Each structure stands twice: as C-alpha cells, then as structure tokens.
C-alpha cells in the first residue's frame, strides 16, 4: 500500500553524489575488457542520471549508495536541476514528516508539487503524485512529480541526529603579495622561485594572527599552496612559506579558502589543501650585494644593540618584535628605512626594520621567527 503525508524536505549532496558516480563509472570503464562491457557501463550511467522511470526502483536513477554521517557535503539552498552540466542529478534528502508514518527501510518515496499552473493559467493543488493531462488547446501542463527516492536512514530529530549531517559552506578571504622574499634557483628545474612572500590586505590591523598561523593560502595566478607562518609588522601583514617555491609576483592575489560547517557551534575553519613536497634551491645573491659596500648615509650606523623585547610571544617562546638603538640618529627619518635587514650575530636571527620607536633614534624590528637575544645584545644593520 501507500500513504500520502506532508513533509518538509531538505536537499544536499548533489555535487558529491555526482563525483561518486563518476568515480564508479571510471572504475567500470577501466575494468571493462570488451565492447559489450563498455556498452553496459554506459547504460548503467544513463540509468543513474536523468531517468524518469519509476516502474522499477533499481532502474529509476536510484543506485544503492550507502549514506555516511562522516562524509562532508556542500550546503544547498534547494533541489538543483543541474550540476556541472549534468541535468537532474541525484540528491540526498532529509524528510521531516508532520505526523508519524510507517515506512520500512528502502521504501520508495515520491514527492509531488503542491501547486501546478495549467495551460489556462489556473492553479490546481493536490497531495498525490499524479501526472497532468493534455489541456483543451492540446498542450501539456507540468508534471506533478517533484522527486523520488529510496529511504536509506532513520533520523531521530529529537536527539539532534539531523545536526550530525556534515554540510558546509565555502568561505574565502583575499589579499595580495606585498613583498617577495629572496630569490632562489630551484635545484630540480633551475627556475627562479621564492620560498617565502609577505602578504597584506587579508587581515585587519587588530586581527589576532595566532588564529591563522598554519592556515594554507593559494596564489591566484599560479595556484601554488603556501602556509602562513607568522605575522609581519603591525599592519596586519603576514609571512607565507612555500615548500616547493612559487613564481608568483608582487601585487598578485593570495586566496585563503576554508570550510565552515553549518552545525558547528565553534565556527572552526577547515581546509583540504595540501602543501607540495619540498623542492629545495640555492639562494641567488643580488647584484647589489655583489658590489662593494657603499658608505652608509649620514646619521646611520651599522651597529646597535637590543634595548627591549616587544610584541607577541610565538609558539617557540620567542618574541616577534625588538626595540634596537644605535642605528639611527634623531635626525634620520626611520620610516624611510623600513624593510632594512637586521641581524643578531650571536644568535644568527634576522629581522627587518618596521619603523621608529619614540624620538631618540630607536627603531622597531620585526623578527618573523622570533628573537631570543636579550637586552644589550649587539645587532647589525644591512641596508639594501
């Protein structure tokens, strides 16, 4: 027998089911060893997508696919008519019945439209799944059938089991490459790449960067995947490392994509991006550094010392900012020297000048990997 009852339906999983069927079809095609086997595989695929026959549930576009609460699904707002050029794709659907209904597992569920407009513009309603008949003008009105499916799982709404369905939305943030790291000649192909870049415009100045350390970003033009290693400076900039190197250029886009699951109260960010295997290279010395050292401008000295440590404490226990005196006189505009390299000889730690600190010629120096040297430690300034 059959029962007609009202239900609220939520659809999802069209993209994932299409991929699942495509993978199965690919496997079937590879294993086929005759023309007959290939023809059978094509017929099977045709029965999966776009079939309207409901006479046999096994041949009505309803392959037996088990559902897993461990799988991730892209959130949908409605039943999709097509996905990636494939019409009438399969969906998963959650039905919330208004009243209890006896329906054994693998029962056939048929959903019908509640409001259909005929060729004369008159609306007709009904709960049973029937097809329309030709109108007096000879045209055919819309079909009442909305969807059909096999009942696969029983879900306890009172226990919140519906919230265990892992649907997610895709979010993204966009920034730019503000500065490139040192060039390297990659060993395996001799291409000139950068193993680190410095990004901007992805975060606000007040953003807590610790939350984003370890997140992956992609270069917009080349698709290289890098990892955020630390903040850089005080304006929301950050340092990104590329194990295999990148040929991206200054000013190109950086994209951070991530998932947020709909029923995750903590609103955590999840990523599927994988870092490429390391492809080492040799640092290329710039022409400026090959040339003989030029005298330093007036008011600038090559040596100074650490006055104090500032900024955030990194995971390695080191501060990421230091105040250094002795490099500049009070008359020097330190902002014009932002980006100049600073090296601590005793610890071999390197940083860059960020800007002035106070009015006595002191400067703030950012150390992306942290600084362990304490107050009084000697520091060297290297102007580029």
d(C-alpha 230, C-alpha 210), whole Å: 8
> 217: helix, coil or strand?
strand
d(C-alpha 268, C-alpha 256), whole Å: 14
Q: Which pLDDT band holds residue 4 (cuts at 50, 70, 90)?
A: confident
How many beta carbons lie within 10 A of that of residue 89, not counting itself?
21
Report the pLDDT value the prediction gives residue 21, as an integer from 0 to 100: 82
Contacts 24+ apart (CB under 8 A), 352-357: 353/327, 353/381, 354/233, 354/234, 354/321, 356/328, 357/323
What's the distance, CA 165 to chain centroid? 20
Nearest to 145 by CA among 130, 133, 126, 135: 130
Q: How far is CA 307 from CA 314, 316, 376, in A?
A: 19, 21, 6
d(C-alpha 346, C-alpha 28), whole Å: 64
Report the pLDDT value the prediction gives residue 249, as an integer from 0 to 100: 95
Cα dihedral 268, 274, 280, 286 sign:
negative
Q: Which residue bears the tokens 């461990």?
A: 70
pLDDT for residue 365 is more than 60:
yes
Report the pLDDT value the prediction gives residue 81, as an integer from 0 to 100: 86
Contact, 180 vs 194, CB < 8 A? yes
Q: Which pLDDT band holds residue 102 (cuts at 50, 70, 90)?
A: confident
pLDDT per position as a tens digit, 213-233: 999 999 999 999 999 999 888
pLDDT for residue 120 is more than 70:
no
pLDDT per position as a tens digit, 29-41: 545 444 444 444 3
Q: Which residue bears the tokens 């400026």?
A: 288
How do 362-371 and 349-357 pair as beta strands? antiparallel
Instruction: Provide mean pLDDT across the span 160-180.
Output: 90
Of 104-108, 251-255, 286-290, the least confident? 286-290
Instruction: Provide mean pLDDT across the span 312-320.
Output: 92
Contact, 363 vs 357, CB < 8 A? yes
Rg (CA), the chain: 32
């Amino acid at each position: 027998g059959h029962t007609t009852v009202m239900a609220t339906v939520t659809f999802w999983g069209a993209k994932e089911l299409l991929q699942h069927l495509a993978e199965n079809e690919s496997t079937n095609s590879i294993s086929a060893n005759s023309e007959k086997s290939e023809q059978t595989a094509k017929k099977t695929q045709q029965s999966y997508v776009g079939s309207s026959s409901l006479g046999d549930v096994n041949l009505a576009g309803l392959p037996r696919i088990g559902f897993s609460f461990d799988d991730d699904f892209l959130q949908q707002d409605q039943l999709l008519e097509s996905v990636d050029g494939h019409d009438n794709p399969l969906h998963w659907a959650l039905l919330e019945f208004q009243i209890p209904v006896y329906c054994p597992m693998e029962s056939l569920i048929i959903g019908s439209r509640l409001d259909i407009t005929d060729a004369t513009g008159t609306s007709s309603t009904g709960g049973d799944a029937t097809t329309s008949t030709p109108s007096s003008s000879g045209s055919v009105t819309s079909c009442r059938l909305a969807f059909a499916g096999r009942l696969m799982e029983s879900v306890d709404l009172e226990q919140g089991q519906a919230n265990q369905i892992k649907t997610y939305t895709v979010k993204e943030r966009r920034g730019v490459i503000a500065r490139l790291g040192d060039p390297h000649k990659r060993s395996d192909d001799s291409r000139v790449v950068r193993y680190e870049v410095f990004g901007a415009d992805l975060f606000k100045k007040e953003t807590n960067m610790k939350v984003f350390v370890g997140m992956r970003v992609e270069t917009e033009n080349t698709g290289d995947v890098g990892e955020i290693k630390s903040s850089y400076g005080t304006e929301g900039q950050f340092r990104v490392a590329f194990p295999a190197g990148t040929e991206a250029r200054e000013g190109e886009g950086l994209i951070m994509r991530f998932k947020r699951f709909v029923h995750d109260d903590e609103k955590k960010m999840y990523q599927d991006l994988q870092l490429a295997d390391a492809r080492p290279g040799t640092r290329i010395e710039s022409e400026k550094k090959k040339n003989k050292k030029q005298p330093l401008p007036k008011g600038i000295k090559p040596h100074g010392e650490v006055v104090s440590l500032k900024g955030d404490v990194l995971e390695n226990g080191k501060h990421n900012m230091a105040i250094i005196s002795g490099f500049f006189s009070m008359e020097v505009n330190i902002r014009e020297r932002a980006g100049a390299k600073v090296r601590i000889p005793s610890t071999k730690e390197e940083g860059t000048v960020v800007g002035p600190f106070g009015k006595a010629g002191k400067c703030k120096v950012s150390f992306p990997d942290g600084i362990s040297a304490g107050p009084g430690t000697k520091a060297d300034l290297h102007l580029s």
